[in-house]
Amino acid sequence: MTKKQKNNLIRCIVSLILVVGLSVGFHIAKVPWWAELIAFLIPYFVVGYDVLLKAAKNIRNGQVFDECFLMSIATIGAIGTGEFREGVAVMLFYQIGELFQSIAVGKSRKNIADLMDICPEVANVIHEDGTITEEDPDDVEIGTVIVVNPGERVPIDGIIIDGDTSLDTSALTGESVPRAAHPGEEIISGCISLTGQIKVETTKEFEDSTVSKILELVENSSMRKAKAENFISKFAKYYTPVVCYSALALFLLPPVIRLVLGMPADWLVWLMRALTFLVISCPCAVVISVPLSFFGGIGCASSKGILVKGSNYLEALADTETIVFDKTGTLTKGVFEVQGIYTNGDISRDYLLERAAQAESSSNHPIAESILRAYKNEFKNEINHSLIYDVEEIAGHGISVKYKELPDGSVANYKESPDGVVESVDKKMSSGEEVHFKIFAGNLRLMKMVGVDISEEHDEGTVVYVAESMLNGHSVVQNGVEINNQIKYLGCIVIADELKETSAEAMKGLASQGIKTVMLTGDTEKAAKVMAERVGVSEYKSELLPGDKVNEVEKLLSEQKKLAFVGDGINDAPVLARADIGIAMGAMGSDAAIEAADIVLMDDDPAKISLAMKISRKTLKIVKQNISFAITVKVLCLILGALGFANMWIAIFADVGVMVLAVLNATRALRV
């Protein structure tokens, strides 16, 4: 409990003791009404002075109709009519209800508030002379080396250059098991270094780091209200004035009509009914419990490493019927490894791998990185980037580069025939002259586009086909015929991407909730079918270009009520923005994808999507329960109060009792 909550609890207890003691005392010994009034005003002001002050302040500011005004008028009216005990009881139980609400809000805020503590105040910067100074993370530039000591949070995203440690990522991902981290690995801000001192070279500025992005998402989440919240806001705006004027009419009209009919007016009776009507009509239960339910749902999701950018997205997710998945980096780990190298004709394995590495050396795509790793392991050296030029990315197809061989020797597979002619696809460099090649690396579509015939197709994974042509008028001899600039197919490299451990589990979880799942991939039909069967998706679409994903989502949107898309790459950003709900992978995902998404999974675990669905549906169910319950009880009690069948104690239940029950129900959104 906070200090304010403890003070309110003490006030409620003191007031309750005084009310009970005075009620028993005055029942035993009769005293004048004015003495009883003075006695009961003591617990009344003890528990309700802040409500009276707030009502007076709001009236002065022109904001008359709110729950403080209703409570003040109702309790003062009850005391004025001689119902001293009832008047104090209304204020007491109202404050008890407010205390319940405050504690519930505090619990729902805790999970989100924990995220607000992940932002370190300083960064330990190492200077060239070896000294270390504490600096504001905002002032640290990219490429700066910082030290993170055991027990400290990482202030800025970067790469570990020295030291080993284990990382506590629970504040970001909800994962309680520490993760080992070693030199060369990326590290994100907000994690805690548990066991060792590490040196980190920053790769982003603080405002672009993970921790800063998370805080921005959390701070902005309350700005985006769900339809139910907007409805309640409008409802309260018009509801409170209506019931106030209705209570006034209930006090004035029946007595006047009775007088006209020659009957006693009974002003006091109708005044009590009007005051009871006011107490019953207080909209606290609905106004408080609905936003609290959504806040609890967002807090619950945050504790599980699921960042929801607003309650409107949580509400929309509950209505989602179809979830579309990008494959690479979403259902798979996005960590590619070379599984097979298949050469064409007499091309050597080394020659094919070297040409593929030269082509992919300018790309940072996971497939390119896997080929470069294989090349480095094979040849124990790096590609000379100064020899590569005219790099051209061909969207959805692959890449082409130009490469020059220097006149100081030969490369793999060079040989000269006795008559001085280069045989097959082997090349010869003239003395003192550079030889230039154009290398193509990509999928079957690229090979068909450049006019290359493939001798053997592979479908056991992602396949990179490689071809080349010699430039500068040099010749390629095939079957004894000299051909200039002939594009020759060299072979292909098969690369496999490992499936995430929880991908199949995620599909089962979604299927059990009646969700249709669709996988989109650029893989061949056969490779896509194998992957779809392993994962367990409802449908799959293969051989898609980046632009085709948007078209497929557009088709599905026309068929379904609500659709969510899950992706991680920069090419997924347009689809994430187009879908009703965009879900991005936060750890491996690109900044553009995270920015375009409505929900971010901090640990890239697809099983969290099924969990997010459960949280959203439970939250919306609780919201509907609270709205239905509160409005039904209030309408029923309002009718009973107007007809004289409900006294002030029933009014207290209709107001405070319903609010407490609704708030307690709302706190269930904190747990799944």
Query: Which structure tokens are listed for 387?
Result: 């020899």
> Given 3-state DSSP classes, what are the helix, strand and coil percentages for the chain, each rounded to the nearest 5?
50, 20, 30
Helix and strand tally (H, E) in the chain?
21, 24
**CA–CA gap between residue 438 and residue 428 (Å, rounded):** 16
CB 5 within 8 A of CB 99: yes
Active site residues: 326
- Partners of 337 in the β-ladder: 496
Q: Listing from the earlier edge strand, what are the strands of the sheet with 563-567?
A: 306-308, 599-601, 581-585, 563-567, 322-326, 516-520, 539-541
N-term to C-term CA, the chain: 23
**CA–CA gap between residue 562 and residue 516 (Å, rounded):** 11
CB 336 within 8 A of CB 363: no
The 10 Å Cβ neighbour count of residue 199 is 17
The 10 Å Cβ neighbour count of residue 494 is 17
Query: Which structure tokens are listed for 332?
Result: 């798979």
Which helix (H) or strand (E) segment is 638 a member of? helix 607-642
Torsion of CA 577, 578, 580, 586, to 10 degrees: -30
- Tokens 């504490």 identify what position? 134
**Residue 2 CB burial class (10 angstroms; 0-12, 13-18, ≥19):** exposed
CB 397 within 8 A of CB 433: no
CB 544 within 8 A of CB 520: yes
DSSP line for 291-339: HHHHHHHHHHHHHTTEEES-HHHHHHHHT--EEEEESTTTTEEEEEEEE
**CA–CA gap between residue 409 and residue 432 (Å, rounded):** 10
The whole-angstrom distance between residue 213's C-alpha and the CA centroid of its chain comes to 11
**Residue 70 CB burial class (10 angstroms; 0-12, 13-18, ≥19):** buried
Query: Which structure tokens are listed for 418?
Result: 């006795």
Query: Which structure tokens are listed for 448?
Result: 């068909």
- Tokens 């700005």 identify what position? 223
The 10 Å Cβ neighbour count of residue 39 is 18
Q: Listing from the earlier edge strand, what are the strands of the sheet with 435-442?
A: 332-343, 488-499, 462-470, 435-442, 398-405, 388-394
**CA–CA gap between residue 617 and residue 601 (Å, rounded):** 18
Distances (CA, A) of 607 to 521, 589, 655: 19, 16, 41
Query: Which structure tokens are listed for 149?
Result: 């000591």
